[in-house]
Amino acid sequence: MNRDQAAESVRQLLVQIEGRPEEVGKLREGLIETPDRVAKAWEFWTSGYGMDPAEILKTFEDGAEGVDEMVVVKDIPVYSHCEHHMAAIFGTVTIGYLPNKRIVGLSKLSRLVNVYARRLQVQERLTCQIADAMVEHLAPLGCGVVIKARHMCMESRGVCQQGHHTITSALRGVLKTEPDARNEFLRLAM
């Protein structure tokens, strides 16, 4: 992102939102630094495009011997933006996987979430991308991802259904095909 160009675009949007006809193109005092701040914030909110999931999910086998139970990290905070309105999406992600000799540091899972959350998203794709990255880079026997999130574009406009959560899930491998593994994960995730 070219931050200066992004800031100029924000400035033009602000003029459309709040421009004063008598001073075309001028922003009022309180908004003067807003374009730069907004551009900087969007640089962060979309920094996932420059992140490499392979780098984050470097696996290690130490400690993986004998791990044949599901590893579940519950309620990882997630902050993203919808690609239809650029409005905030926020909630939690639960990731579970059944290791196949390879395990990954638990903090890496929240970093993996950020790789895909810090982009313009739809919740369904975000859910699948996290699951598919787990499969690609960790090759587990099975993997599941559940996201519970609130969408400001839905809640603050139109019908204003406050507190309405959208729940999406993506199941891969034995978590999709084996009812016991699937039920265990969903019970832990919900």
Q: Which of 78, 82, 93, 174 binds Zn ion (CB under 5 A)?
A: 82
| Catalytic annotation present for 153 | yes
Contact 26, 11 (CB under 8 A): no
Interface residues for Zn ion in 7-46 (CB under 5 A)? none
In this chain, which residue has its C-beta nearest to Zn ion? 153
Q: State the residue for tokens 């470097």.
A: 58
Contact 59, 140 (CB under 8 A): no
Distance, CA of 182 to CA of 147 (rounded, Å): 16
Distance, CA of 130 to CA of 142 (rounded, Å): 13
Of the candidate spans 47-55, 122-130, 148-156, 158-166, the one that interacts with Zn ion by CB under 5 A turns out to be 148-156
Token digits of residue 153: 């574009």
Minimum CB–partner distance for residue 155 and Zn ion (Å): 10
Of the candidate spans 8-16, 27-35, 80-88, 167-175, the one that interacts with Zn ion by CB under 5 A turns out to be 80-88
Minimum CB–partner distance for residue 157 and Zn ion (Å): 9
Q: State the residue for tokens 């650029």.
A: 86
Q: Which residue number, 74 or 84, has a Cβ lying nearer to Zn ion? A: 84
Token digits of residue 161: 């259904």
Q: Which of 9, 14, 85, 166 binds Zn ion (CB under 5 A)?
A: 85
Active-site position among 84, 136, 164, 165: 84
Contact 103, 61 (CB under 8 A): yes
Q: Which of the residues are catalytic?
A: 82-85, 123, 151, 153
